[in-house]
Amino acid sequence: MKRIFKAVLSGILRKTALFCAAFVIILFQRQANAFALLGPYENWMVPTNNFQNLGDIGGPMAFGEGYRWNVPVVTYGFDQSFVDAFGSNGIAAVESAIAILNNLPPASQLDPTTFPKVTTGVNFVAASQSLVDLKSTTLFLLLEQLGLAQPARSAFAIHDFSVSDSGITTNIFDRNYDPFSLAPSESVNGVAYFSQFSIETNTLGEMYASAFAFPVDPMEPSITAVADEGGNGVLGLGPGNFFTGLTQDDAGGLRYLLSTNNYKFETLLPDVHGTGTNAGNYANLALRAGVDKITFVRQDYDNLSGLAFVPLTNSYTDTYLTNGTLVSQQLERVISKPDFIFTASTDLNSSLGLARTGTTNWLNNATINGSSDLAGPGTIVPQIHISFEEYGLFESVSTGDALPPDTASVQTVRWGSFDGSTNAPIIYPTGSGVEAVSTLQVQLSLQNASSHAGAIPILHAPVNFGGAATLQSSSNLIDWVSQATVTNFGLPVDWSHIYSLPQGFFRVVPVQ
């Protein structure tokens, strides 16, 4: 569904080299539900249209162009880096997310109305410790890799826009679909959304558009689906928040993708072949329905044989349609390495605290479905790597010459495991093989109201893991002011300092 909107810019804004223009798109409708389908970027899904932001791996697909798995069993595993960093607690957190998906009924028996509309909870102790739930983040990442996009954001996908003396014209696509009627929708789990559209122009004259989704009723929760997680292109639940399970729209999206009534021409994965009577004669390209149910099976590392992972063989019955008749064949898949592999890293260089495989290797089946110019439908192809920064997400400090030292803002966001119980949150890393950290790294960035001095080389201080250091500044190298105290959690500390003095000096002093 395409919508065209216009807004008028003032003469002052049109004459300004650096400006921001905004208007609000309000679409009132009955309360409805919606899911969105994820796939590789189309050619119009560019940064200037609010795509390919930090945390994005693909864009919302048009109805009928979604991507899905076409095998009933997918495997997962943990490499040694994850085991060493997150230990048994981290493995349990990931497997708790997987269990939510494994416990779903087949799509043919799945009733989205039996699922709650909101499954977000808050643990205030975890929030006070700035912890992000590992299980909830994993659940979002798994839904993403099963073919679901962020629904609230996808209802207002900017296809193109133009600016003239008469105003702004923009084409906005609704790529959000009600799981019951399958019609376009601007609601998610019964929450109606509107969009605030804005354009920013940088000093190079490049214009960037944004369309942020907000609930029409400000009292409604803005995060209502696991697939939305942070929403508006923001990846990550806030510290202390967690998911208890899937919502109606998450379940509705999976039901659509895996439905036995959803027929698409597909080829088999490369490691699938015929077995039994079909060993030498099986249909690779065929008109296939959804697999109805996907089960995650753990694939363990094989220390005895020296192989990376123990190969697994899955035999299953494949059903396809030919000449109006359903035909079954026996297939076998020998899985040499996990479809999903969870790892840990200390050098992701991302404030997200994670990285994962994108959608560029997903297979577009549009041509074999008779429409070579479409973005889908398609097949999701393994292997998928999901890597977590083992020490957390980020540690940041904001200070300033004109600010009292005790007003410094210090924020450290780390991985944790928690729920709605009174149990103390688990803080990662917890594994036995955590890398010894004996140096604190601090990246100082200087700025003021009119300029940005950029970042100076990273400061280093001999501080062991868990130890503290004081960030200090001086105008004369004699009198030093303690701006803030930070703890070495293994994360580089981003120190942003707003300067107003003509000169300044900075240092990191270990706390004895």
Report the DSSP pairing between strands 20-25 and 191-201: antiparallel
Higher local confidence (pLDDT), 371 or 431: 371
The rounded mean pLDDT for the chain is 88
The pair of structure tokens assigned to 43 is 């050619």
Encode pLDDT of 389-412 as tens digits: 999 888 999 999 888 877 888 999
Whether residue 5 is predicted with pLDDT greater than 50 in this model: the reply is no
pLDDT for the residue numbered 126: 96
Q: What is the mean pLDDT of residues 206-223?
A: 86
pLDDT at site 28: 43
Helix (H, G, I), strand (E, B) or coil at 349: coil
Return the H-helix or E-strand segment holding 197: strand 191-201
Identify whether the C-beta of residue 299 lies closer than 8 Å to the C-beta of residue 310. yes
pLDDT > 90: percent of the chain:
67
Mean pLDDT confidence for 91-113: 97
Q: Quick check: 31 pLDDT over 60? A: no
pLDDT of residue 9: 37
Query: Beta partners for 334?
Result: 313
Q: What's the confidence (pLDDT) of residue 203?
A: 75
Residue 15 has pLDDT above 60, yes or no: no
- Do 178 and 32 form a contact (C-beta atoms < 8 A)? yes
| Overall residue count recorded for the chain in this entry | 512
CB 477 within 8 A of CB 500: no
SS (H, E, C) 111-152: CHHHCCCCCEEECHHHHHCCEEEHHHHHHHHHHHHCCEECHH
Q: Is the pLDDT score of 455 beyond 70?
A: no
Q: Return the pLDDT at 458.
A: 87
DSSP string, 455-474: EPPPEEE---TT-EEEEEEE
- In this prediction, residue 232 carries a pLDDT of 59
Contact 157, 172 (CB under 8 A): yes
Q: Give, to the nearest 10 degrees, the angle between helix 134-145 and helix 248-258.
A: 30
pLDDT at 100 over 80: yes
Q: Are 229 and 155 in contact (CB under 8 A)?
A: no
Cβ distance 229 to 250 under 8 Å? no
Q: With bands split at pLDDT 50, 70 and 90, how would you rate the model's confidence at 218?
A: confident
Please write down the long-range contacts of 265-271, taking CB distance under 8 Å and 24 or more positions apart: 265/365, 265/368, 265/369, 266/70, 266/365, 266/368, 266/379, 267/363, 267/365, 267/368, 267/379, 268/70, 268/318, 268/331, 269/70, 269/71, 269/333, 269/379, 269/381, 269/382, 271/333, 271/334, 271/335, 271/336
pLDDT digits (tens, 9 = 90+) for 338-371: 999 999 998 776 678 899 999 999 999 999 999 9
Confidence label for 447 from pLDDT (cuts 50, 70 and 90): confident
Q: What is the dihedral of CA 350, 354, 360, 362, to 10 degrees?
A: -170
Whether the ω angle into residue 429 lies within 30 degrees of 0, i.e. cis, is yes
Q: Quick one: pLDDT at residue 433?
A: 62
**Token pair in block for residue 501:** 């003095």
pLDDT of residue 500: 87
pLDDT at 157 over 50: yes
User: Higher model confidence: residue 353 or residue 27?
Assistant: 353
Triad 357, 359, 362: Cα angle to 5°: 115
**Is residue 240 left, alpha or beta, with left meaning phi > 0 and alpha meaning psi from -120 to 50?**
left
Mean pLDDT of 146-171: 91
Residue 194, both tokens: 């509107």
- State the Cα–Cα distance between residues 342 and 390, nearest whole angstrom: 12
Identify which has the larger pLDDT, 202 or 476: 476
Q: Which residue type, as a one-letter code, is found at position 45? A: M
Ramachandran sector of residue 400 (left: φ over 0; alpha: ψ -120 to 50; beta: rest): beta
Nearest to 379 by CA among 161, 66, 5, 78: 66
Q: Which of 121-130, 163-172, 222-231, 425-434 shows the highest mean pLDDT?
A: 121-130
Q: List the 378-379 sheet strands across, edge first.
A: 67-68, 378-379, 363-364
Give the model's pLDDT for residue 121: 94
* pLDDT of 231: 64
Average pLDDT rounded to a whole number, residues 242-261: 96
- Give pLDDT, residue 407: 82
What residues pair up with 316 in beta bridges, in sequence order?
Answer: 331
Q: What is the pLDDT of residue 451?
A: 61
**176 near 36, Cβ under 8 Å?**
yes
pLDDT at 17 over 50: no
DSSP 484-502: EEEE-SSSPEEEEEE--SS
Helix axis angle for 80-102 and 134-145, nearest 10°, is 70
SS3 257: helix
Q: Is the pLDDT of residue 19 over 60?
A: no
| 376 has a pLDDT exceeding 50 | yes
Taking alpha carbons only, the member of 65, 393, 11 closest to residue 235 is 393
Query: What does the pLDDT read at residue 308?
Result: 81
Give the mean model confidence (pLDDT) for residues 125-129: 95
Rounded Cα gap, residues 272 and 313, in angstroms: 10
- pTM above threshold 0.85: yes
- pLDDT, residue 328, reads 94
Q: What is the pLDDT of residue 4?
A: 47
Q: Residue 38 above 80 pLDDT?
A: yes
Share of the chain above pLDDT 70, in %: 89
Instruction: Please give the distance of CA 291 from its chain centroid, rounded to a whole number.
Output: 25
pLDDT at 237: 82
* 277 pLDDT more than 80: yes
Please report the pLDDT score of residue 507 as a whole number: 95
Q: How confident is the model at residue 233 (pLDDT cuts 50, 70, 90)?
A: low
Predicted confidence (pLDDT) at residue 42 exceeds the cutoff of 80:
yes
pLDDT surpasses 80 at 54: yes
- Cβ atoms 38, 144 nearer than 8 A: yes
Q: Which amino acid is at 491?
A: L
Q: What is the average per-residue pLDDT within 138-153?
A: 96
Q: What is the pLDDT of residues 284-343, one digit of tens each?
A: 999 999 999 999 999 998 776 656 889 999 999 999 999 989 999 999 999 999 999 999
Give Cβ neighbours of residue 76 (< 8 Å, ≥ 6 apart): 94, 98, 296, 297, 298, 299, 338, 339, 340, 341, 342
